[in-house]
Structure 1
Amino acid sequence: MSSSGSPKDNSSMNVDNPYMNELKMHPKELSLKDGKVQVEDVRGPKGEGSLEARMEKMDQEVFMSKKMAERELDIIHKINDELVGEHKKEVGGLWDDIFSLHETTNKLQAQLYDVQNQNS
């Protein structure tokens, strides 16, 4: 169970993988100015102010986003409640109409039965 080299020895890794050095290099940006190719290091976004100030600004943005999402959810719930309430009113009115039609049908059937019994 012995290994051929110690895990701390990186020279064997570079020999095994020649592209490792390229991966470790800082990324470059190529640009063409006045007909000449210029190579520059890629720069990250510039931060304004201290890290604490940027973190505070990001916290404020997250807080505002959460508040907007909460308001949107409240509005969606209110709209949903209104739609459900209107639906219940409409369905309630339809059920009332159905019951009145059922009662009318029963009365008419009773009258027909009475007429049939009178003739016999």
Structure 2
Amino acid sequence: LFGVGDEVNQDDVNDLVSQRDQEKYFFKLKDLTEVQKMFDDMIDESTSVGLCGIVWEGLENKRRAFPWLAKINIVRPPQGSNCMGSLVSSSYILTAAHCFKEGDTPDKITVKLEK
């Protein structure tokens, strides 16, 4: 779990993360520049980008190449909204919070997975 900025309260976060000796699950960072630096230090993109389930426009994507990838469509006139997500268990899809707005209802949301 990553907390960014001075307003992050460590006590509030403690209930959200595992508490194990010798392990760290919460990182409090000063700003987004620190977040970027940390990810740059942690992730070797030359070996990890190929594992990503993101569909890049213009690149050929073979069916079943990314079976965890979920396409989320929200009917919201006049245009609607499309987002992507990742299947993280048999019951849950992880996606960005900004995909949804107040007033979205389950009957207006469809999710499609690669089969």
TM bucket, shorter chain: under 0.3
Higher strand share goes to which structure?
Answer: 2
Higher helix share goes to which structure?
Answer: 1
Higher relative contact order (CA 8 A, sep 6+): 2
Larger Rg: 1
Q: TM-score, normalised by structure 2?
A: 0.18
